[in-house]
């Protein structure tokens, strides 16, 4: 055991780690959503007989086991995206049955199960955002990633762009490394990747790059800035107005309040104080977030774009991270569709901000240079 721990060094992020994790994240979301949809459409069938029940948690465990074996046995780079997809599907099938694991009665439909699954998904999203941050450019870590990228040479899959990235990385290692062996290794690798005899593959854009280029062409051709701004504003108005629907129904009258509250909670006459508190907390959050979304929409229409996009972005972020935990508790997995709409709307605001509101790169560079010159003077 001491020998094992003596070989554990500083962590190094793998080349392409954020892409592999994204595959796992999307596979996880699809696994839960499609499983619930399939069970709902088919009447919750069971695989087995009067004695046996083969729950889908077992298939999830099998996929997780295969995903863990692949990188232990194989060294090919294609193992990582495949492992990411299998691990996401496996954990989705596993956690979908969390209600059975946390209740004495093995209740698959236990109401807190849905928000638990959603909260777990949010944690994975936060981890993904953390992994997406730029990796440290420390020479040792850069050499790790260089050797990882060199597998493309063995698979005859290294193109001109990837070689240029390798050259830039190796030159940076040679300039910053303080260990002579690192410098010598970087020099040797640099001679290897810049050799004229190195066979290069034609540039083949990835699926993500193709989708991004296709999306940009669609935006340029069919969604000019005024139309896209109007669509986003209308979507924010509809989303914000929908959040006021429950409040309007509940405040119609005291009788309507009691009736709709009982209906909302779905507990008949056995409504507990905790459930009433949670339902009122949901209404308060829906009121606040709905206000943010509607004000953001009006500001967009008034062409006060930066503030409008910010309020819409902030409201949707609050809804996706806080409000939806309560929505999933009351509405269960029927809330998935609303969450998907909110997420797509959030992506629309981010795209709009990046395309039209972010300052051009040359302006940013000029501002940084001006600031640097001012500090020097």
**Digit-coded pLDDT (tens) for 92-136:** 999 999 988 888 888 888 888 999 999 999 999 989 888 888 877
Let me know whether 111 and 86 are in one domain: yes
Looking at the fold, whether 241 and 336 belong to one and the same domain comes out as: yes
Residues 119 and 37 in one domain: yes
Q: What is the predicted pLDDT for the residue at 68?
A: 94
Domain presence at residue 369: no
Contact assessment for residue 174 and residue 204, using Cβ atoms and an 8 Å cutoff: no
CA–CA separation, 83 and 88 (whole Å):
8
Question: What pLDDT is attached to residue 359?
Answer: 64
DSSP collapsed to 3 states, 74-140? CCCCCHHHHHHHHHHHHHHHHHCCHHHHCCCCCCCCCCCHHHHHHHHHHHHHHHHHHHCCCCCCCHH
Same domain for 224 and 294? Answer: yes
Q: Does 155 share its domain with 97?
A: no
Is residue 146 located within the same domain as residue 175? yes
**Cα–Cα distance between 88 and 74 in angstroms, integer?**
19
Whether residues 247 and 126 fall in one domain: no
Tell me if 184 is assigned to some domain: yes
Same domain, 173 and 255: no
- At 327 the three-state DSSP class reads helix
Rounded distance, CA 348 to CA 337, Å? 17
Q: Is the pTM of this model over 0.75?
A: yes
Is residue 370 assigned to a domain?
no
Residue 3 lies in a domain: no
pLDDT at 272: 55
How far apart are alpha carbons 49 and 213 in whole angstroms? 51
**Angle between helix 160-176 and 180-193 (nearest 10):** 160
Specify whether 84 is located in the same domain as 156: no
Structural domain count of the chain: 3
The pLDDT, as a whole number, for residue 251 is 58
What digits encode the pLDDT tens for the residues 156-183?
888 888 888 888 889 888 888 888 888 8
> What's phi and psi for 48, nearest 5 deg?
155, -155
For residues 65 and 60, give the distance between their C-alpha atoms in angstroms, rounded to a whole number.
9
Same domain, 113 and 221: no
Give residue 146's domain range.
Answer: 139-193
255 belongs to a structural domain: yes
Task: Specify the pLDDT at position 375.
Answer: 44
CB 235 within 8 A of CB 348: yes
Of 170, 193, 216, which closes a domain? Answer: 193
Q: Are residues 214 and 266 in the same domain?
A: yes
Residue where a domain stops, chosen among 87, 104, 131:
131
Rg (CA), the chain: 26
Structural domain contains residue 367: no
Which pLDDT does position 365 carry in this prediction?
Answer: 45
What pLDDT is recorded for position 263?
Answer: 54
Supply the pLDDT for residue 317: 92
CA pair distance 327, 340, nearest whole angstrom: 13
- Let me know if residue 199 belongs to a domain: no
Residues 266 and 351 reside in one and the same domain: yes
pLDDT beneath 50: ranges in the chain: 5-6, 253-254, 256, 267-270, 361-365, 367-368, 371-372, 374-377
Q: Which residues contact 250 (CB under 8 A, 6 or more apart)?
A: 256, 257, 260, 261, 283
Please indicate, yes or no, if residue 371 is contained in any of the structural domains.
no
């Amino acid at each position: 055991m001491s020998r094992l721990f003596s070989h554990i060094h500083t962590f190094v992020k793998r080349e392409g780690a954020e892409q592999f994790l994204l595959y796992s994240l999307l596979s996880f979301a699809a696994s839960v959503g499609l499983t619930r949809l399939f069970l709902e459409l088919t009447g919750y069938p069971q695989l087995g007989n009067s004695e046996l029940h083969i729950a889908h948690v077992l298939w999830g465990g099998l996929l997780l086991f295969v995903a863990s074996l692949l990188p232990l046995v194989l060294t090919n780079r294609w193992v990582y995206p495949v492992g990411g997809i299998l691990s996401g599907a496996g954990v989705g099938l596993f956690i979908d049955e969390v209600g059975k694991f946390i209740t004495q009665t093995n209740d698959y439909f236990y109401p807190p199960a849905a928000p638990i699954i959603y909260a777990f998904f949010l944690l994975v999203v936060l981890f993904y955002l953390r992994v997406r941050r730029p990796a440290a450019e420390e020479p040792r870590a850069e050499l790790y990633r260089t050797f990882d990228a060199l597998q493309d040479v063995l698979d005859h899959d290294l193109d001109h762009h990837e070689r240029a990235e390798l050259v830039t990385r190796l030159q940076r290692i040679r300039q910053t490394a303080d260990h002579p062996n690192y410098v010598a290794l970087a020099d040797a690798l640099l001679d290897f990747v810049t050799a004229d005899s190195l066979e290069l593959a034609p540039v083949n854009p990835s699926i993500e790059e193709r989708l991004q280029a296709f999306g940009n062409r669609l935006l340029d051709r069919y969604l000019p800035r005024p139309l896209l701004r109007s669509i986003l504003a209308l979507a924010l108005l509809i989303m914000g107005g929908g959040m006021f629907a429950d409040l309007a129904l509940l405040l119609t009258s005291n009788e309507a309040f009691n009736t709709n509250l009982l209906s909302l909670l779905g507990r008949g006459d056995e409504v507990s104080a905790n459930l009433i508190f949670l339902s009122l907390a949901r209404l308060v959050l829906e009121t606040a977030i709905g206000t943010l979304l509607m004000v953001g929409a009006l500001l967009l229409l008034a062409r006060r774009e930066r503030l409008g996009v910010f309020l819409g972005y902030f409201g949707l972020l609050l809804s996706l991270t806080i409000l939806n935990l309560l929505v999933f508790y009351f509405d269960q997995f029927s809330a998935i569709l609303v969450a998907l709409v909110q997420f797509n709307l959030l992506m629309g605001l981010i795209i709009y901000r990046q395309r039209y509101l972010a300052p051009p790169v040359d302006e940013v560079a000029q501002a940084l240079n001006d600031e640097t010159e001012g500090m020097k003077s």
